[in-house]
Amino acid sequence: MNKIDSNVTGLAFAEESSLKVLSGTNEADAVWFELEPNSYNDFGGELSTVARAPINASRQRKKGTITDLDASGGFNTDVTQNNLTRLLQGFFFADAREKASTAPFNGSAVAITGVTAVDDTYAAASGLGVFGAGDLVLASGFGVTANNGLCVVTSASGTGVVTSKALTDEASPPATAKLQVVGFEFPSGDAEIVASASRIALESTTTDLTTLGLTVGEWVFIGGDATGNKFATNAPGYGRVKSIAADAIEFSDTTFAATTDAGTGKSIRIFFGTVLRNEKDPSLIKRRSYNLERQLGDDGDGTQSEYLLGAIPNEFTLNVPQADKLNADLSFVAMDNVQRSGADGLKAGTRIVAPGEDAFNTSSDIYRLRMNVVDPSNLNNTALFGYVSEMNVAVNNNVSPSKAIGVLGAFDATAGDFEVSGSLTAYFTTVAAVQAVRNNSDVALNIIAAQRNAGVVFDIPLLALGGGRINVEKDAPITVPLDSSGAENAAGYTMLATFLPYVPNVGMPA
């Protein structure tokens, strides 16, 4: 063997139970999630040595000694619907806020034991009481195609979920079978839109809206494909939740021009998903660390590999280039790194293959990319620009390794401020964007990407702008480069991401 090609390598991560330690006896209970990197950046460890330089007649140095190790790693990957959600918990230093699911990120899984057609029921030994009537549930991973897809729950108990969907008998569903709440269908005539220039609200007569599990700041989609599931005078669209009460959900931003609509005779649908945001409450801030595994090909005795131990998420950059894929750069600060030969083998544990989904493209999968001045008295603010040629948004946890005498590498790490920044180049239409820089206006920035009946939203609801020097070149459009710096908003966070597992056809980009 003279060489090993890069195409035979692989990347995976496993969450540690404590710094540098995976779960289980001899770390055997680790769960490894496969990733699909496009490229790497400084992955591994860099050793520092100090040579001996005594005063001597030969004027030669003596062999040095290893004094330090800096371990770190980064990679670039495409953004798909589900490939980064679990890992991004580490970058937000928080648990994902999930809706009811039989396979939650941070809870116990519920095994679906069967599907019966006679009563259209999904069954389990226990654990299905988290679902309720009116829930819109997405079923996936079943061996029988008819048992996958969106359905409305008519009733539920600890051992069964009865749905409106015509199911097919399936005695032994695969271990991948999953039920996940992705929305809610209101009873006929129960939901209405009440709108003015300063207030947009979804109000309910009988449904307690605090029971939907929504989070202030998350993005939802209002309306379904069928005429009976959407408002007559409000086009279906996305909205950011501003407040939640038993009888009303208020929105601070919507993608549609809201008008008052009683929803008479309509069973309105609302769709929502998993939320990630940096947390203000110290009890909700959670630092995660990982083992990162890079496989390095077969050395004749098996697959060799290298590991970053105690890898703490540091920087996440969302890249939005034109005519390309939505992609992200992720970097980690690690405590140590080790190598294993083929004879040593890979570390033990369960291995989950990458979802193998399509990437979002920046030409036809972007539903909205919008920056606007925040004005609570006028929720129908005009966007500061029409089109953007390129954009990126960066999260930086400012993690630094903690060094000590007697330790090669680092014994721990310290996280600094959670910083969010970004830059974009917009096509100039009016001076509004430049004036927003000069006025130090409160500005919001969000991007909504959707494809294949699913979507993701990245949102910075409060930021300050910099730059703004108009660029005029011969035979070219006028452009405006802008820098942005996120800040804590009234709801106590700086950046939020919403992953919607299901969005109806009307929520796809035109």
Residue 1 pLDDT > 80, yes or no? no
Shared-domain flag, residues 116 and 213: yes
Q: How does 115-125 read in b/e, with b if 16+ C-beta sit within 10 Å? A: bbeeebbbbbe
Residue 208 lies in a domain: yes
| pTM for this model (two decimals) | 0.95
Q: 73-86 pLDDT, tens per residue?
A: 999 999 999 999 99
**pLDDT score of 380:** 81
Residue 61 lies in a domain: no
Tokens of 212: 């939907």
Residue 359 lies in a domain: no
Shared-domain flag, residues 110 and 145: yes
How far is residue 372's CA from residue 497's CA, in Å, rounded to a whole number? 18
Residue 251 lies in a domain: yes
Q: 443-501 pLDDT, tens per residue?
A: 999 999 999 999 999 999 999 999 999 999 999 999 999 999 999 999 999 999 999 99
User: If you ran DSSP here, which 8-state letter would residue 285 be given?
Assistant: B
Domain range for residue 76? 6-44+69-94+284-352
Dump the DSSP string for 248-271.
EEEEEEESS----B--TT---EEE
496-500 vs 274-277, strand pairing mode: antiparallel
Mean pLDDT estimate for the chain:
96
Instruction: Among 238, 272, 306, give the residue marking a domain's end.
Output: 272
Distance of CA 296 to the CA centre of its chain: 28
How far is residue 114's CA from residue 160's CA, in Å, rounded to a whole number? 10
Shared-domain flag, residues 216 and 292: no
Shared-domain flag, residues 249 and 129: yes
Percent of the chain residues topping a pLDDT of 70: 100
* Tally of structural domains, the chain: 3
Instruction: Among 215, 248, 272, give the residue marking a domain's end.
Output: 272
**pLDDT score of 381:** 82
CATH of the domain at 398: 2.30.110
Shared-domain flag, residues 257 and 293: no
Tokens of 319: 């890249």
Contacts of residue 504, Cβ cutoff 8 Å, sequence gap at least 6: 221, 223, 224, 225, 236, 269, 271, 453
How far is residue 165's CA from residue 154's CA, in Å, rounded to a whole number? 10
Shared-domain flag, residues 226 and 179: yes
**pLDDT score of 133:** 98
Mean pLDDT of 128-140: 98
Mean pLDDT of 50-61: 90
User: If you ran DSSP here, which 8-state letter would residue 361 be given?
Assistant: B
**pLDDT score of 146:** 97
Shared-domain flag, residues 136 and 267: yes
User: If you ran DSSP here, which 8-state letter would residue 484 be given?
Assistant: E
Q: 398-413 pLDDT, tens per residue?
A: 999 999 999 999 999 9
Instruction: Among 298, 329, 352, give the residue marking a domain's end.
Output: 352
Residue 422 β-bridge partners: 393, 484
Shared-domain flag, residues 181 and 304: no
- The Cβ of residue 143 has, within 10 Å, a number of other Cβ atoms equal to 15
How far is residue 463's CA from residue 468's CA, in Å, rounded to a whole number? 14
Q: 145-197 pLDDT, tens per residue?
A: 999 999 999 999 999 999 999 999 999 999 999 999 999 999 999 999 999 99
Mean pLDDT of 267-294: 98
Mean pLDDT of 49-61: 90
Q: How does 336-361 read in b/e, with b if 16+ C-beta sit within 10 Å? A: bbeebebeeebbebeeeebeebebbe
Residue 233 pLDDT > 90, yes or no? yes
Whose tokens are 């140095």? That residue is 61
Shared-domain flag, residues 456 and 334: no
303-321 vs 327-334, strand pairing mode: antiparallel
